[in-house]
Structure 1
C-alpha cells in the first residue's frame, strides 16, 4: 500500500523507559534507536525533541497498551496523554496503535536480530517500536489519542 508519509517515528511508551524507532515508507521498514529513559512516565521533552528534530519524521505512532480483553489500564491513559502532548509539541500527526503482544514478540525476535549482526545494545522496547512503525506501514490504521 502506498503511504503519503516518508518517515514515521514509533514510540513504545513505558513508565521507566521508552523504545523509539524510525521508519521509512519506501522500504516499509523501521530501525531501532537507543532506549530513551523516562521518569515516572514523563520524558525529558528537550532531549526527546532533539531526537525528533534530528530524524525529522513526518508523523509519529505511539503504542497503546490495551489489556487482552480490550480494556484500558492506567498505562493506556498515560500513553494517550504522552501522545497528546507529543502532538501538541511537535505539531505533526500522531496516531496510536494497539500494541498488545509487541513487546513479547520483540523479546522473542531480539535474539535472532542480534544473531544477524545487529547491535547487542538493541532493546526489546526499541524493537517493539520498530514493530509499531512497520505495522503502521502495512495497515495504516491508527487511533487518535
Structure 2
C-alpha cells in the first residue's frame, strides 16, 4: 500500500486504543492492533512501530459523543490523544463521530465468531474492529466530499 493511500483510524479508550488501517482507494479498513494505555498515556513505542511499518498520511480519531451529539468525559480524552498524535507525527488528524461503532464492531465480531472465523471473544480484537468501523465511515464520508 503506498503512503498516499494509507490512513490510520483510532478507537480511543481509557484502557486500550484500537488501531485500524484503511485504504482511500477501496474505502476498506481492517483492525491492526489494540495498544494498551499505561498511566493515562498510550504505548507510544507500539504506536511508533505501527506508524513506521505502514506510513499513513492521515490519522482519524473516533470522537465519543453522547447519543444527542454532545461532549462527554471520554470526548476530552479522545481530543487530547488526537492533539498528541498530531504533535508527535506531524500528520493531519481528523476527529469523527464514533457513535455506535463499538456496538457495530461487537456485532461484526459475533457474526465472524458464529461463522467460525474468530475463535474466541477478545476485547482487543473488538477495539481494533471498532477502529476499522470508525475508519470505514470516515473513508465513506471523505470520498463523498472529495477528500
Partner of 1:28: 27
TM-score, structure 2 length as denominator?
0.85
Which segment drifts farther, 19-28 or 119-128?
A: 119-128
Shift of 1:71: 1.6
Question: Structure 1 residues 119, 55: CA separation in 2 closer, same or farther (over 3 Å shift)?
Answer: farther
Shift of 1:119: 6.8
8 Å Cα contact 1:16/1:40 also seen in 2: no
8 Å Cα contact 2:20/2:132 also seen in 1: yes
Q: Which runs of 4 or more aligned residues in structure 1 lie more than 2 Å from their structure 2 counterparts after TM superposition? A: 113-122
8 Å Cα contact 2:59/2:92 also seen in 1: yes
For 1:86 and 1:34, the matched residues in 2 are separated by 16
8 Å Cα contact 1:14/1:41 also seen in 2: no
- Give the secondary structure class of the aligned counterpart of 1:57: coil
Instruction: Name structure 2 gaps, 5 residues minimum.
Output: none
Superposition pairs of residues 8-87 of structure 1, within 5 angstroms? 8-87=7-86
For 2:52 and 2:102, the matched residues in 1 are separated by 26
Partner of 1:117: 117
For 2:56 and 2:134, the matched residues in 1 are separated by 14
Partner of 1:137: 139
8 Å Cα contact 1:21/1:32 also seen in 2: yes
Which segment drifts farther, 30-39 or 96-105?
A: 30-39
For 1:37 and 1:74, the matched residues in 2 are separated by 19
For 1:24 and 1:6, the matched residues in 2 are separated by 5
- Give the secondary structure class of the aligned counterpart of 1:92: coil
8 Å Cα contact 1:11/1:129 also seen in 2: yes
- Higher helix fraction: Structure 1 or Structure 2? 2
